[in-house]
Amino acid sequence: MEGEPTLRLRIFDLNCWAIRYLSKRRQERVRLIGDTLCQQGFDLALLQEVWSEQDYSDLKVKLAGSYPFSHYFRSGVIGSGLCVFSRFPILDTLLYQYSLNGYPYMLQHGDWFCGKSVGLPGSRAGVTAPLLSLSLQLHAEYCRDKDAYLPHRLVQAWELAQFIRHTSKAADVVLLGGDLNMHPEDVGIRLLRGWTGLRDAFAEATRFEGCKNGCTLVPDNCFTDKSELLPFPLGIRIDYILYKAISSFTVKCEELKTTTGPAPGMDIPFSDHEAVMATLHIQRQGQPAGATLGTADPALADVVTEARTEVGVGLRAAQRQRYSSGRMAVLALLLLLLQAAAALGTLAGLGTEQPFPKLSFCLLAFLALGVLVLATGLHLFHTMEVKMLHGTDDQMWMVLRALQERP
């Protein structure tokens, strides 16, 4: 970037909602997204919920000319759904899978099966600026009033923040685009922004164009679930482009846009989410600005405390579930042992007559075995959940102590 005072970087971010067999008019929309990306020639496109590798391959073929570099992040049963298309070479990638991501038995929510992650392609924009871009998605919020996944989403936000802090130290610019599944004022996003120093492109943009308040889930979109948006008549903003400059660079958001429902000249939008498009100006400064990893914001300690409280609530719930699944497993085991003793007794001729009809006896034994296997599985799962919530609580406590000791 030397001798080239400013780099203008155009970024496209979209939750594509491309779930095979489930998402409406998927193939048509993926084609539309590919066409738009081709025409508009962004520098970087961060896509989420591209669950089908076939869709990624199709996009890759279509975009080979204008975005010669791309990466698809594989994880979980279904995949992470994350992919990146870039005009700049992708030098290296890293995938960090969140340690907690919902429950495998909540089949109707399915987040667990996706292996939600943050994908980090390291690239080099212009001549010298190492650019770290992250594409990600956090656990969905299914019910805002009784959000059972809040502790998991907070653990994810915390792990994401820690991941950014640890991986971004030698980058010049960090960019994050994705569906955070959090409203701008939520504790998770305050934690993420506070602890990493990332700035919100919507709040910083000189010009804005698009849905009111930068909302990305709006009732005008024909694919959104209108009942979910009843308490928010304008829609909600849960897709973000965040950024920061680390070393001797400054980043300014010149313009931020969102799509507004149907794509131009079409009857359908790209997805059930609106796309976010940012134009950033990256400039080299004379003097290295020094690492700005965290902010010295005195409110940060309050945010960490608030998040810790929620993680604590999740921890106690997980402990209760671990206890009850463990108790259920023990009861099932006792029943099985009792049945085994009764069966042995009968075989040894201790009882003169058979106490139960054979069929009911067998059914009961299978039921007990089924409960034992299921309850043991649940117990193991909730034990892991407790460990991870506890570990996050530890880390938060360590940071709180450091923040409080700071002058």
Sites of contact with its own copies (CB under 8 A): 71-77, 79, 90-97, 99, 113, 115, 120, 122, 162-163, 165-167, 169-171, 291, 358-359, 362-363, 366, 373, 380, 383-384, 387-388, 390-391, 394-395, 398-399, 402
Write the CB contacts of 265 (distance below 8 Å, at least 6 apart in sequence): none
- Helices vs strands, H then E, count in the chain: 8, 13
- DSSP-assigned letters across all residues of 106-147: -TTT-HHHHT-EEEEEEEEETTTEEEEEEEEEPPP-S-STT-
Structure tokens at 339: 């049945």
CB of 91 to its own copies, least distance (A): 6
CB of 213 to its own copies, least distance (A): 34
Residue that is written with structure tokens 């391959």 in the block: 57
Which residue(s) pair with 209 in the sheet? 257
- Chain centroid, CA 390 distance in Å: 20
Q: Measured from the CB atom, is 213 or 324 closer to its own copies? A: 324
Write the CB contacts of 221 (distance below 8 Å, at least 6 apart in sequence): 261, 269, 272, 273, 274
Q: Measured from the CB atom, is 170 or 266 closer to its own copies? A: 170
Q: Measured from the CB atom, is 34 or 115 closer to its own copies? A: 115
CB of 381 to its own copies, least distance (A): 9
CB of 303 to its own copies, least distance (A): 17
Structure tokens at 190: 């305050």
Q: Measured from the CB atom, is 260 or 395 closer to its own copies? A: 395
CB of 380 to its own copies, least distance (A): 5
Q: For 118, list phi and psi in degrees, rounded to 5.
A: -115, 130
Q: Measured from the CB atom, is 184 or 312 closer to its own copies? A: 312
User: Given 273, 281, 379, 382, which residue is catalytic?
Assistant: 273
With beta carbons less than 8 A apart as the criterion, state whether 371 and 338 touch: no
Q: Where are the alpha helices (DSSP H) in 138-247?
A: 150-167, 187-196, 201-204
Task: Give the residue among 315, 305, 317, 313 at the shortest CA–CA distance from 387.
Answer: 315
Q: Is 273 a catalytic residue?
A: yes
With beta carbons less than 8 A apart as the criterion, state whether 191 and 303 touch: yes
CB of 196 to its own copies, least distance (A): 12
SS3 letters across 295-336? CCCCHHHHHHHHHHHHHHHHHHHHHHHHHHHHHHHHHHHHHH
Q: Which residues are catalytic?
A: 273
